[in-house]
Amino acid sequence: MKTHRTDRESFVKSCCAALYEGKGAAMLLGESLHPGGLALTERLGQLLNLGPRTCILDVASGNGASAVYLAKRFGCAVTAVDYSGKNVTLGTNKAAAAGLRGQACFVLADGEQLPVQDSSFDAVICECAYCTFPDKAAAVAEFARVLRPGGYLGVTDVTTSGRPLPDTLEALLAWIACLAGAQRVEEYERQFTEGGFQMSAMEDHSDSLKALVRELRTKLLGLDLLAKLGNVAGLAEALAESKQLGKYAADAVESGLLGYHLFIGEKPLGRS
């Protein structure tokens, strides 16, 4: 387990946590903070064969929407960790409101240093967050460590095509610091394989990203109209920048420069 963190690594994690714990993220993205929403979480649950006897770990669980959904839908026991204390509280409250206090628990932790025992989970999921981890090898090693032999890893994440990104898009990715680590499909597969996983499935869900970006742009246009009608000082300018970035993002997903993929890997039975 890694014990040393650089200032830059901590900054990226805190920045991402702050971005996704606020009301703004919930307003723009909805409860589920990833492309495809709970429908894609359902797909992940099906592919991982979740059921009432399964113990799963949701790494970088956000506000707990997926963890609570999976606990309710499949009857599995869920431990969820996130770098944001606010998100851990949101998740805990969500589980309590759903009557799942004993079945879905939320812990403040770093995905690269999981505070759980070796081989203690049947499945590990990580939705739309692995790309944000500065030390991906450390994260994959942790996923493998906490899974029992024969257990499954399910990851969904933002992907790049491998073609060079226009400068405008580089600026967008820098702005959303925590997406800067999006990679090619082959690179994700290489990292999971090097971490000891046998890859068993890969699916293209880029249409979900297209739909999310379209929805985001519509919401930003609505906000822009409200700002103009209400003549709110400063807001219209801030929104103009967001709308421009939204257009770059839309161009990138429509042209296939950015996508969204699902990966399933198995920790081989012989591995401790």
Ligand X SMILES: C[S@@+](CC[C@H](N)C(=O)[O-])C[C@H]1O[C@@H](n2cnc3c(N)ncnc32)[C@H](O)[C@@H]1O
Give contact residues for ligand X (rule: CB under 6 A): 13, 16-17, 20, 32-34, 60-62, 65-66, 81-84, 87, 110-112, 127-129, 132-133
φ, ψ dihedrals at 233, nearest 5°: -60, 130
**Residue 106 or 197 having the CB closest to ligand X:** 106
The set of residues, in sequence order, having a beta carbon less than 8 Å from that of 243 and lying 6+ positions away, is: 217, 220, 221, 224
Classify 23 in phi/psi space as left (phi over 0), alpha (psi -120 to 50) or beta: alpha
Q: How far is the CB of 269 from ligand X (least distance, A)?
A: 28
Query: Which residue's Cβ lies closest to ligand X?
Result: 62
Which pair of tokens denotes residue 233? Answer: 């000082």
Q: How far is the CB of 75 from ligand X (least distance, A)?
A: 20
**Residue 78 or 81 having the CB closest to ligand X:** 81
**Residue 17 or 227 having the CB closest to ligand X:** 17
Q: How far is the CB of 137 from ligand X (least distance, A)?
A: 13
The set of residues, in sequence order, having a beta carbon less than 8 Å from that of 97 and lying 6+ positions away, is: none
**Residue 38 or 252 having the CB closest to ligand X:** 38
How many residues appear in the chain?
Answer: 272
**Residue 129 or 209 having the CB closest to ligand X:** 129
* Nearest partner of 51 among 78, 28, 17, judged by Cα: 78
Q: How far is the CB of 23 from ligand X (least distance, A)?
A: 14
Q: How far is the CB of 67 from ligand X (least distance, A)?
A: 9
CA distances in angstroms from 108 to 4, 80, 83, 86, listed in the order given? 18, 9, 6, 9
